[in-house]
């Protein structure tokens, strides 16, 4: 697994290889590893049944994206799962900026109030 120091630019972090073992090792959140393991079992069952590797390729690509996110921003990944857990439990989330505000800010290059 690749560790990231807080001062490091996420774009400087090397991305994991598209390899099942490397991808799983890069997943820093237990919920991700559990979902990966369950998904891999289901995908391998489907490959065995249909004799089609396309589903395995799609699985590897999807989890590679999550692994890249994990190595670039492990704390962000933990926050995302914590937020999802609160939502699943029916807890209200604090209101923040809307997607529209964030997108407008990026398009204009200035912080939105």
pTM (predicted TM-score): 0.71
Domain ranges of the chain: 16-108
Percent of the chain whose pLDDT exceeds 90: 64
Which helix (H) or strand (E) covers residue 29, if one does? Answer: none
The pLDDT tens digits of the residues spanning 26-47 come to 999 999 999 999 999 999 999 9
Whole-number mean pLDDT of the chain?
88
Determine the pLDDT at residue 98. 82
The pLDDT tens digits of the residues spanning 59-79 come to 999 999 999 999 999 999 999
Rounding to the nearest 10 degrees, give the CA dihedral for residues 14, 17, 18, 20.
Answer: -120
53 φ/ψ angles, rounded to the nearest 5 degrees: -80, -5
């Amino acid at each position: 697994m690749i560790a990231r120091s807080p001062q490091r630019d996420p774009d400087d972090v090397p991305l994991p290889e598209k390899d099942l073992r490397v991808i799983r090792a890069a997943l820093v959140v237990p919920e991700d590893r559990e979902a990966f393991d369950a998904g891999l079992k289901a995908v391998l069952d489907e490959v065995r049944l249909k004799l089609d590797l396309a589903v395995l390729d799609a699985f590897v690509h999807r989890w590679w994206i999550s692994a890249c996110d994990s190595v670039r921003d492990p704390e962000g990944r933990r926050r995302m799962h914590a937020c999802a857990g609160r939502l699943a439990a029916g807890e209200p989330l604090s209101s923040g900026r809307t997607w529209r505000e964030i997108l407008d800010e990026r398009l204009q290059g200035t912080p939105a109030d």
